Amino acid sequence: MNGDMEELSRITAEQHREFMAALAVLSDQELAYRLQLVEAMAASIASKPTPTISTNDSDVNLQTLNLQKLETQFKDRLIIQSETKRPYGEGFPSSKSENDSEVFRVYFKGLLSDEIVNGPCSSNKTVTVAAIGVAIFDSTDEVIFELKKPLDLIEGDRICRQRVEGQALIEALKAAAALELKRIVVFCDYYPLYQFVNGRWPPKQQKTRDILHHVNLLQKSFTYCELNLIALEDVKFAFKLAREAISSQISQEKLDNCVLCLEDKSIDQFLSAEGCTHRYCYCCVKQHVEVKLLNGVLPKCPHGGCKSELKIESCEKFLTPKFTEMMRQLLKEDSIPVAEKVYCPYPKCSTLMSKTEALRHPRSVYGYGARTCYKCHGNFCVYCRVPWHENITCDEYKRRNSTSLVDESKLKNLAARNIWWQCIKCEHVIELAAGCYHMTCRCGYEFCYTCGAEWKNKKATCNCPLWDEECIVGIEEEGYKYDESNYFEDDLKHDVVLSDEYDKYW
């Protein structure tokens, strides 16, 4: 390109000399012409100048304009080359003169950090992560390139800051070479690496020598490459990029292992009960909570022996509205003492409330035991637990409605005949569907289903058998009678077929 410019300058100078010589010749011809013109004017005033001379004037003027235009284009080209900059992201110019003359600043940073992440089974673990950041600026302080990249560390391999910083320098030089930059100034904040690259410290380790060899090869890609030592705060842009790369690595490590399903899941999919450190995935906790709610028991932490209660606010994240309302009802029921619990006697309502929640009426309006359900607003007697019997005392109501007493007696006889037990603590009626004779009521009271004796510390206080085989296996089902031949009928038919086939061939 420099040769072309010199050739253009030579041609321009030569044309300029020819132009000046032409002007000198023109001045002599013009003098002769003027003499002839004076003589002609004397002979005839109407005489006109010859057209040939006029034509020569036009040619000279045209040549002058072309030469001035050429000089203007030459000057404009020089101005454009010195002042025009390539915008970031718009590619490279066809001419390399811009990158050959402009000096670019290259910043790099290598980070090595010990980070705490959540390990399996809710245990915290410390991991070592490394990352690099590279930023390249042009002469107008515009960022033309940036890089944030995590480094893969081999488990068991010793890693140090010197190697990470060296790898960051290599990546920075690779990026500058890929951008076809020719003149760069590299800024480093790590003093040992600065001394090694500049040859002031001889490397003693083979890994350091390998890094320096790689750096030296990359430096040959540039016509000018200088390494300067600066403070850490001056490489904050590259430091930020490296820090972002480390944060990205840590976010990928946030997995935990559920000890119930033994699956690794995102830490966001785990639930912790308040008051303990046990963590389980939503899927497992959901099944645990639903089973407890169906059994009328408030769910607690699934960990064996842990008594931490699960909050409804946490369970709402994975429970359906049906189970959420069921849990809310159980929480309310559990918060009311047994002696204070009152159910609305109207079958379409049956709302649970405490005696204080039931609306009390003045004695002059109804009676002393009159209450009103806060939900259906039906009046009832808090003592008889029946719809309000107006102008009738509780004793008189019981005498008039002896049928209810008979029904209650029938219910007790039915419970005795089917061996239904009434919890001593909360008076709920309990039936054994299947399983062992160790019963746990919804209120938490444990007892023996055979004799009713209390269980203490997960141990029986009686000598009754723990289970019956029929209750455990559940052989007798509705509409099915046990017959031993049912188990062998198909086998007998199969044996007959085999016998026929045997006789056929033998």
The CB density around residue 191, as the number of other CB atoms within 10 Å, is 10
Q: Which of 436, 462, 464, 471 is catalytic?
A: 436
For helices 161-178 and 206-219, the axis angle rounded to 10 degrees is 20
Q: Is 384 a catalytic residue?
A: no
Residue 137 parent element (H or E): strand 124-137
For helices 2-43 and 51-83, the axis angle rounded to 10 degrees is 160
- Strands 421-422 and 386-387, by their bridges, are unpaired
488, with CB counted inside 10 A (0-12, 13-18, 19+), is exposed
Tell me the C-alpha distance between 87 and 60, whole Å.
44
Contact residues for 225 (Cβ-Cβ < 8 A; gap 6+): 173, 183, 184, 185, 186, 219
Greatest CA span in the chain, whole angstroms?
165
The CB density around residue 396, as the number of other CB atoms within 10 Å, is 11
Q: Which among 148, 105, 139 has a CA at the least distance from the CA of 239?
A: 148
Q: Which among 322, 327, 377, 328 has a CA at the least distance from the CA of 349?
A: 377
Which residues are designated catalytic? 436
